[in-house]
Amino acid sequence: MKQDLAITVDAVVFAEENEHLYLLVIKRKNDPFQGKWALPGGFLEEDELLHTGCLRELEEETGLQLKEMQQVGIYDEIDRDPRGRTLSIAFTTKLQQRKEIKGSDDAEEAQWILLDNLKELAFDHHKIINDALEKLQITR
């Protein structure tokens, strides 16, 4: 039986200030995981490249405009999204300081959280964050 396959993109944005490492997260406005913290991201549009989609979702949900991010990996666990079969491609970057952000679109709120204070996140975002830290060679 053929099933629909969704493709999403996630942005893992770190900022280092005063020897503290921050992570940009959003509070989800919609189900699944409504009200939970997550990485900015969303569904890829049919006519866009992965990298472009990630930058678009990041800007739509947080107001943050970036030009470049590097790919972290592909996340394809069968049950990673309760809505159905979803592949996610994650991208990451590290900024020299936190930038102004504002939750918008599918994000009820956007916030810079100290990485050490990170609690429960939606989906498999903890794994994605750990892989991004490794990709950027950041040690905590």
Verify whether residue 68 is a known catalytic residue: no
16, 59, 108, 109: the active-site residue = 109
Locate tokens 């969303």: which residue?
42
Asked if 118 and 111 touch (Cβ cutoff 8 Å), the reply is: no
What are the structure tokens assigned to 101, written together? 């952000």
Reported in sequence order, the residue ranges of 50-106 that DSSP labels E, i.e. its strands, are 70-75, 86-95
Asked if 39 and 129 touch (Cβ cutoff 8 Å), the reply is: yes
Asked if 86 and 4 touch (Cβ cutoff 8 Å), the reply is: no
CA atoms within 13 A on the CB side of 52: 5
Pick the closest to residue 69 from 46, 49, 85, 87 (CA basis): 49
Point out the residues that are catalytic: 109
